[in-house]
Amino acid sequence: MSTVKPLKPTTPKSEMPKLSTVLFDAAQAVRQVLAGQSLTEVLDAISRERKAAVQAISFYSMRYLGTAQALSQLLLSKKVPNPLVQALLLVGLCLLTVKKRDEMACAIENPAEEELSQQHIPRYQDFTVVDETLKAAQMHKKSAPFKGLLNACLRRYLREQDSLWEKVQQQEEARFNYPQWWIDLIRRAYPQQWQEVLNAANTPGPLTLRVNRRRVTRDDFAAELTQAGLSHLLYGEDAIILKKAVPVQQIPGFDAGLCAVQDAGAQLAASILPLANGLHVLDACAAPGGKTAHVLERADVEMTALDIDAKRLARVQENLQNLGLYSDKVHLYTADASQSTWWDGRLFDIIMADVPCTASGIVRRHPDIKWLRKQSDVSKTAALQRLIVKNLWSLLKPGGYFLYITCSVFPQEGVEQAAFIEQSFSDAQRLAAPGQLLPIHPQGGVSLHDGFFYALFKKQEK
């Protein structure tokens, strides 16, 4: 993957209109994602005062990039050689098509609570989008010469939007906003629900908290949220879902470690496991540490957490310290879970294997994933998962429990891997677990959890 360096605008910062600056940054983000870079990393380089606005527009653009790409092909006689100009056009088209999506949403009855859809939809007047996109183009010498082309394309879309929209909706990549291979895979896997699965992932997930039961009861914490005017739902055993997202600094007790952000689907891991004080537990591929922390909140165990990325493992330690969970019973290792060079020879009572995957189940929180992944990545991650499982199974005590987890909705990384475990280890007894969780709401609307797969096994004593 080649790194694309962000371009610096030639116009002094003080002279740039706010929206045009945001559009320039958002276009750069889109350009960098199309070159193979993570949107999270790209946004980390954006200045704090503009980051929220840039994120809103770049996330929206990632969600509906397929439609914008199809429209750009109809509007352009040939491909624009300048990737920044192409990205500006894509962002502009995404913003101009917001009204079309609003019309489609109004035509569909949605019984789910509207408050749970925390999507910051960037709505602007058509003339504002066009004018500010052109101003954004003027901010760099490489894009300024294409101002006329951008103007012609955007205004042509506005003149012909009904016919253009009808044309692109005939293309599946444009209608569902995923690469065709992804659409085909989901359709084969879920023939009755495939459209729901695809559409649901284009709706941002709610902000979900995990209450730190070591420091506060959920009922007491919920009362604090009510007092602070934060409407919410109780979910599962430890989760609270905010009906409207707010910066975490506005959540009472967040900085004091009374809660942490964790999707409701991810919180199932600790409740599935037969936890008890004194057990020796391994969380493999642990970063950022949500499941590690949740186990420590629920039981006094000796915890080993490992991750191949030292920086991400450092974040695990920071999170545990903030929650008051880091102690001499917690051992952190930077290591490859497919190997045992880090292991001290002591078998584990419980192993959580939240293995690397395509992350296809969390696209609604990371919409760049669907454009970064390739079809070949599915088989590659599946092969790595099997290597990790084979190694970790050998570290489990007879009578111990093994929880296989992925944040994927692809069967190759879920149900097929569970079958592999059953077939590969004669001492593996499969137990009850949720299996495949799809990020869809049973009544339509916003799902209360991301896409996950869970399979629980017990290692039989010989």
**The one-letter amino acid at 339:** Q
Strand order in the sheet with 428-437: 330-334, 302-307, 280-284, 348-354, 396-406, 452-459, 428-437
Residue written as tokens 């987890």? 405
Measured CA to CA, the distance from residue 173 to residue 67 in angstroms comes to: 7
Measured CA to CA, the distance from residue 203 to residue 367 in angstroms comes to: 10
| Cβ atoms 266, 287 nearer than 8 A | no
Measured CA to CA, the distance from residue 337 to residue 13 in angstroms comes to: 47
Measured CA to CA, the distance from residue 251 to residue 231 in angstroms comes to: 11
DSSP state of 161: H
**Nearby residues of 332 by Cβ (< 8 Å), 6 or more positions away:** 304, 305, 306, 313, 316, 317
Measured CA to CA, the distance from residue 405 to residue 340 in angstroms comes to: 20
Residue written as tokens 């016919």? 163
Task: Return the axis-axis angle of helices 375-393 and 180-189, rounded to nearest 10°.
Answer: 50
In terms of DSSP bridges, do strands 428-437 and 348-354 run parallel, antiparallel, or are they unpaired? unpaired
407 is known as an active-site residue: yes
* Neighbour tally for 58: CB within 10 Å: 30
**Nearby residues of 405 by Cβ (< 8 Å), 6 or more positions away:** 269, 291, 352, 353, 354, 355, 452, 453, 454
Q: Which of 425, 404, 298, 288 is nearest to 355 (CA)?
A: 404
Specify the DSSP element, H or E, that contains 459: strand 452-459
Strand order in the sheet with 239-242: 232-235, 239-242, 207-211, 259-261
Reported residue count of the chain is 462
* Neighbour tally for 404: CB within 10 Å: 26
Measured CA to CA, the distance from residue 427 to residue 118 in angstroms comes to: 46
Bind-site residues for S-adenosyl-L-methionine: 285-291, 307, 336, 354
Q: Which of 94, 259, 357, 407 is catalytic?
A: 407
Measured CA to CA, the distance from residue 356 to residue 324 in angstroms comes to: 27
Residues taking part in catalysis = 407
